[in-house]
């Protein structure tokens, strides 16, 4: 049995040792581990660090190193998938690592699930470094990520072990030079055909880094110059921006007290209790498939464009592939 681990990395060479050590510890369970690393145009010593790992020649741990010009995580994963030789594959970011018995669990559940039909992978729990589950406990043996997200109201992180023959049929679709797109777009396509088997076993540990996408990376995604961003960042706030901040704070307060409320009831509360009039399009879905429900307010509050390069402080609440715009009027 061979499991391929896919790791895109950009200037995080110092974090790879922790992931390497976790794979070395898991090499004792009779699973061939193929660790494929894509260096996404790093300027640090990622290559030299990986070479040191390769020189150790740990049994059952094959390390493959690839390089590309900086094109972003999703292109890196797409390219890594092309090199997979394992029957199963799993993505593992450079700031994540595996629990000590992760591959023991995966091997056990693969063997137990060989007779299962119409599945594209096995879904496990992901914990943070403090041992806290980043999602909910599974209540069903089989599900899709869409159902977990919207029917079970589980917006947590998951570790997904894909069946390689199925996963290779799908790619992260990027357009017009994009460097990032949410994984949910591809997962939704996979959900249409098959399901996941769900196991309440923690196999991956996650530690988010403060330095994720940089201003240099993000500005091209929204087609603005960095100088325009910094000009906006330091400008005096307008009355419109201050009003949007007030709305955002009110929404977070409502949702904290009543997390079961959807966008319509929240809008009603804004008008009734806060005397705030908002657009009737509050919570309107932008994507083609996700229901217009606002969740996890304030997790992502990012600027949006208005009138060319002028950036206004509107609140975009990004949830999976759903984008909800919250402001009295919007571009």
pLDDT, tens digit (0-9, with 9 covering 90-100), for 34-52: 999 999 999 999 999 999 9
Instruction: Give me the domains of the chain, ranges plus CATH numbers.
Output: 2-206 (3.90.550.10), 215-326 (no CATH)
Do 188 and 146 touch, CB atoms closer than 8 A?
Answer: yes
Do 18 and 209 touch, CB atoms closer than 8 A?
Answer: no
- What mean pLDDT do residues 105-109 have? 97
pLDDT, tens digit (0-9, with 9 covering 90-100), for 275-330: 887 665 544 333 333 333 333 333 332 333 222 222 222 333 333 333 333 333 22
pLDDT at residue 31 in the model = 97
Residue 77 has pLDDT above 80, yes or no: yes
Q: Rounded to the nearest 5°, which phi and psi values hold at 179?
A: -110, -15
CA-closest candidate to residue 64, choices 34, 28, 106: 34
pTM of the model: 0.65
Q: What is the 3-state secondary structure (H, E, C) of 182-209?
A: CCHHHHHHHHCCCEEEEEEEEEEEECCC
């Amino acid at each position: 049995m061979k499991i391929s681990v896919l790791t895109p990395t950009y200037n995080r060479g110092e974090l790879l040792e922790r992931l390497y050590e976790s794979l070395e510890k898991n090499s004792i369970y009779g699973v061939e581990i193929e660790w494929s690393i894509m260096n996404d145009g790093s300027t640090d010593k990622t290559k030299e660090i990986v070479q040191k790992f390769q020189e150790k020649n740990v049994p059952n741990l094959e390390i493959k190193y690839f390089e590309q010009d900086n094109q972003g995580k999703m292109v890196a994963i797409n390219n890594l998938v092309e090199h997979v030789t394992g029957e199963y594959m799993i993505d593992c970011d450079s700031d994540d690592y595996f629990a000590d018995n992760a591959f023991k669990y995966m091997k056990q559940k693969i063997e137990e699930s060989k007779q299962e039909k119409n599945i594209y992978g096995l879904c496990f729990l992901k914990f943070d470094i403090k041992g806290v589950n980043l999602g909910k406990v599974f209540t069903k043996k089989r599900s899709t990520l869409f159902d977990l997200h919207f029917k079970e109201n589980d917006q947590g992180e998951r570790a997904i072990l894909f069946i390689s023959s199925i996963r290779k049929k799908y790619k992260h679709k990027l357009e017009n030079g994009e460097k990032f797109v949410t994984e949910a777009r591809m997962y939704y396509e996979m959900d249409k055909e098959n399901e996941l088997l769900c196991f309440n076993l923690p196999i991956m540990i996650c530690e988010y880094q403060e330095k994720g996408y940089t201003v240099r990376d993000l500005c091209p995604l929204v087609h603005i110059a960095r100088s325009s961003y910094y000009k906006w960042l330091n400008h005096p706030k307008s009355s419109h921006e201050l009003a949007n901040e007030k709305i955002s704070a009110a929404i977070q307060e409502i949702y904290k007290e009543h997390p079961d409320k959807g966008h319509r009831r929240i809008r009603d509360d804004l008008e009734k209790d806060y005397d705030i009039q908002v657009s009737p399009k509050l919570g309107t879905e932008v994507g083609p498939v996700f229901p217009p429900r606002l969740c996890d307010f304030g997790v992502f509050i990012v600027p949006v464009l208005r009138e060319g390069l002028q950036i206004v402080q509107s609140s975009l609440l990004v949830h999976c592939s759903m984008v909800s715009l919250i402001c009295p009027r919007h571009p």
